[in-house]
Structure 1
Amino acid sequence: MTGMAAGAAVVAASLVVPDEVVPADRVRAGAPRTGYVELDRADGRTIGVWEHTPGVSTDVEADEVFVVVAGAGLLEFTEPDLPPVELRPGVIVRLTDGMHTVWTVRETLRKVYIAP
């Protein structure tokens, strides 16, 4: 789904999110999969829904703000060294370009994100 119409509504938890295996060099534990659905792209920003299945993976982030809508996990910051964030529905997080993170997902995590 791209270009969600004005006034349209979707339930984030019911969207089908195509996923793929996380590359082996980014996996620390388990066999996590990630995927996303882009909802809208306009005016230099993207809105979408992203999902991460249980397991532990690393990433280098881009600028975004997200709100967790389902699942549970822990987001750790290795660069810069910041306190970890417990992820659960309702938590809002701001990431900046170049942050190095570790995602420990206990229950499939789904977030709605806005990225420039």
Structure 2
Amino acid sequence: MTRVTTRVLDVATAVPTTPLDPGTVLLGAPEAGSRALAAVSGVEVGVWEMTPGTATDVEVDEVFVVLSGSGTVTFDDGERVDLRPGSVVRLRAGEHTTWVVHETIRKIYVA
């Protein structure tokens, strides 16, 4: 019989944040940061946080699940997604987005 070893990824780990580039900030003084948790077949799994405020971004290919916090992400085509714990969102490389964070967002991502 083969023994399977399970490793736990600690999504509660501290995530260091730094101020966002002032050229991307539309409102407030948001900070963001991430911490990689694992790499699987060239795909990164990690935790990301953004503190309250509004900022623009250009995305990478990613799927994420919101663990805590609240806000919205709006895409250039006008689609708006409300973010709350349990929200699952697909981002595509090159998409331009606007993030409005009301309560610090923490998400786990696969990119």
Instruction: Percent identity, please.
Output: 46
Q: 1:105 aligns with which of 98, 101, 104?
A: 101
Structure 1 position 24 matched with structure 2 position 10: no
Within 5 A, what are the aligned runs for 1:65-76?
A: 65-76=63-74
Structure 1 position 83 matched with structure 2 position 79: yes
TM-score, structure 2 normalization: 0.92
Q: 2:50 aligns with which of 49, 52, 56?
A: 52
TM-aligned CA deviation for residue 67 of structure 1: 0.3
CA deviations over 1:49-83 (Å, ceiling 9, x no partner): 000000001000000000000000010001xx042
- Structure 2 unaligned segments of length 5 or more: list them: none
Larger Cα-atom Rg: 2
Match of 1:8 in 2: 7
After superposing on structure 2, the runs of 4+ consecutive aligned residues of structure 1 that deviate more than 3 Å are none
Q: Partner amino acid for 1:102?
A: T
Q: Which has the higher helix share?
A: 1
CA RMSD of aligned residues (A): 1.1
Aligned residue-pair number: 107
d(CA) in 1 for partners of 2:10 and 2:35?
13
TM-score, structure 1 normalization: 0.88
d(CA) in 2 for partners of 1:7 and 1:28?
43
d(CA) in 2 for partners of 1:105 and 1:50?
13
TM-aligned CA deviation for residue 10 of structure 1: 4.3
d(CA) in 2 for partners of 1:40 and 1:10?
8
Secondary structure in 2 aligned to 1:23? Answer: coil
- Structure 1 unaligned segments of length 5 or more: list them: 1-5
